[in-house]
Amino acid sequence: MHAEHAADLFPHVRIVMGMVLGLAMTRLLTGFASLVQYPGRYPLSATHLLWALSILLDLVMFWWWEFALARIEVWTFTIFMFLIVYTILLFLMAALLFPDSIEEYGGYEAYLIRRRWWFFGLLGATFVMDAIDTMIKGADYWQIWSRAHMVEVPLGIALCIVAGSTVRRRVHLSLAVLYLLYQGSWIVRSAAHGV
């Protein structure tokens, strides 16, 4: 697509991404509301709540950082599809955290442990997708974040493999806390760069 049409296409891309992200946020917020509405239905899990909170924060951060897509001067269908796939991954993580029913599992923590490879596989994929997303936004943007991605992508994938490989609840709780701290560091670093 020619540069003169890029400004026209960006709002369209944002709308499509916003629809998918809105569905993901709705899923999480409805899940949180359900926990308040029916507190005794299933035992609460700190691990599950922390992961749900962190994915909600991921959605908000993703939505904010995608404003940098306005830098793209030439849009292609490949870039568009990449962004849609990325948002779908985020939606799937939200849907995994609050499924339609967990009756057969007896609680959210048992459910999350049993579905850990799906959840952490998707989370690991988002580390890679985030690095590619940063590259798409241009050389200047990549220069700011490339060193961080070179460390965080392999480390994030390794932690997802560890989480997928274990059923130990303490490990899962520790990783949820660690991921929230990681997100906090991204917010601080972004503010420092004026992003």
39-49 per-position pLDDT tens digit: 888 888 999 99
Measure Cα distances from 11 to 5, 72, 133 in Å: 11, 12, 17
Report the pLDDT value the prediction gives residue 69, as an integer from 0 to 100: 82
State how many domains the chain has.
1
For the stretch 154-170, pLDDT in tens is 889 999 999 999 999 99
Give the pLDDT confidence score for residue 4 in this predicted structure: 46
Q: For residues 8 and 47, which has the higher predicted lDDT (pLDDT)?
A: 47
- Calculate the average pLDDT of the chain: 88
Q: What is the DSSP string of 9-38?
A: HHHHHHHHHHHHHHHHHHHHHHHHHHHHHS
CA 16-53-193 angle, to 5 degrees, is 70
- What percent of the chain stands above pLDDT 70? 95
Domain hosting residue 71, numbered range: 3-192
pTM value? 0.88
pLDDT for the residue 33: 95
